[in-house]
Amino acid sequence: MPVQNAEIAAMFDQCADLLEIKGENQFRVRAYRKAARTVEGLPRSVSVMLAAEEDLAELPGIGKDLASKIADIVAKGRFGLLEQLKKKLPGDLGAMAGLPGLGPKRLKLLYDKAKVRTLDDLKRALKSGKLHGLHGFGPLTEKKLVAALEKPAAVQRFRLSVAEAEAEALVAYLRDTGKVVVAGSYRRRRDTVGDLDILVTAKQGAAVGDKLVGYDNVTEVLAHGPTRTTVVLRSGIQVDVRAIPEESYGAALLYFTGSKAHNIALRGRATKRKWKLNEYGLISGTRRVAGATEEEVYQRLGLSYVPPEMREDRGEVALAAKGPLPRLIEVGDIRGDLHVHSNWTDGTASIAEMVAAARARGYAYMALTDHSRRQAMSHGLDPAKVVRQGREIDKLNDKLKGFTVLTGIEVDILKDGDLDLPDTTLAQLDVVVASVHTYFDLPREAQTARIVRAMGNPHVHIIGHPTGRLIGTREPYDIDMDQITSAARDLNCCLEINAEPDRLDLNDLHAHMAKSKGVKIAISTDAHAVNAFQYMRYGIDQARRGWLTADDVVNTRTLPQLRRMLKR
DSSP H helical ranges for 273-315 = 294-300
Give the CA-trace dihedral at 245, 250, 251, 257, to 10 degrees: 110
**pLDDT tens, residue by residue, 258-290:** 999 999 999 999 999 999 999 999 999 989 999
Phi and psi (nearest 5°) for 358? -70, -40
- Give the chain's residues under pLDDT 50: none
Burial (0-12, 13-18, 19+ Cβ within 10 Å), 88: exposed
DSSP 8-state class, residue 502: T
**Domains of the chain by start residue, with CATH:** 5-150 (1.10.150.110), 158-322 (3.30.460.10), 331-566 (3.20.20.140)
Backbone angles phi, psi at 523, to 5 degrees: -100, 115
User: In 468-504, which positions are buried (b, 16+ CB within 10 angstroms) versus exposed (e)?
Assistant: bbebeeebbbbbbbeebbbbbbebbbbbbbbbbbbbb
Q: Is 67 helix (H, G, I), strand (E, B) or coil?
A: helix
Q: How far is CA 387 from CA 3, 136, 400, 425, in A?
A: 45, 36, 20, 8
Per-residue confidence (pLDDT) for residue 155, from 0 to 100: 66
SS3 27: helix
What is the DSSP track for 86-133? HHHS-TTHHHHTTSTT--HHHHHHHHHHS---SHHHHHHHHHHTTTTT
User: pLDDT tens-digit profile of 308-333?
Assistant: 999 999 999 999 999 999 999 999 99
β-strand pairing of 281-284 with 276-278: antiparallel
Which of 3, 28, 8 is CA-nearest to residue 18? 28
pLDDT of 350-404, one tens digit each? Answer: 999 999 999 999 999 999 999 999 887 778 999 999 999 999 999 999 999 999 9
pLDDT of amino acid 374: 87
List Cα–Cα distances, 352 to 41, 305, 397, 425, 494, in angstroms.
19, 43, 10, 23, 27
Q: Say if residue 50 is exposed, middle or buried (CB neighbours under 10 Å; 0-12, 13-18, 19+).
A: middle
Please state, in angstroms and rounded to a whole number, the distance separating the CA atoms of residues 46 and 144: 38
The structure's pTM equals 0.84
Chain-centre distance of CA 221, in angstroms?
Answer: 29
* Residues 6 or more apart in contact with residue 203 via CB below 8 angstroms: 245
Give me the pLDDT at residue 96, please: 73
**Half-sphere exposure for 175 (CA within 13 Å, toward CB):** 6
